[in-house]
Amino acid sequence: MSTLFKQLEPAEPAIDLPDLNTLLDAIKFNEQGLIPAIAQQFDSGEVLMMAWMNREALNETLRTGRVCYYSRSRGTLWRKGESSGQQQRLKSAALDCDGDTLLVKVDQTGPACHSGRRSCFYIELTENRIDINTQPLIDPAELYGKG
């Protein structure tokens, strides 16, 4: 574990903290330089999706307030909503205690999932079966202009 995150364990809100770049240097990005980012609707608490960020995507997100991820399949930055129009505006960002997972609280426009659903987490698992818990809000072909 990063010594910085270990040092922050007993920290209280009013203490002097390191600057942002020092903290970003201590983040535990994986071998590909990525960190998982969980997007949560800021006002309802609904978990919308999980995607990956590299340091550049995290910096852009913090700088612009528009959530930016890293697309592993395309090998480039991906600004949420650039092809669908369903953007995420950043409300807050927080690292977990180990510095290896990011929680971004967002204001999501429309569906967050490429399936046209509000949340990517729509496949429910039980002991003996699976269920689909929501209907798409928008047909994916319409969402991405293929219809």
First to last CA, the chain: 48
Cα–Cα distance for residue pair 31/100, rounded to 1 Å: 12
Give the residue carrying structure tokens 């987490």: 121
Note whether 100 and 76 are within 8 A (CB): no
Beta bridge partners of 115: none
pLDDT in tens, the chain (147 residues): 468 888 888 888 867 788 889 999 999 999 999 999 999 999 999 999 999 999 999 999 999 999 999 999 999 999 988 878 889 999 999 999 999 999 999 999 999 998 999 999 999 999 999 999 999 998 888 877 755
What separation in angstroms does the CA of 56 have from each of 13, 24, 71? 27, 11, 12
Parallel/antiparallel/unpaired status of strands 102-108 and 88-95: antiparallel
Q: What is the spatial distance between Cα 117 and Cα 114, in angstroms, rounded to a whole number? A: 7
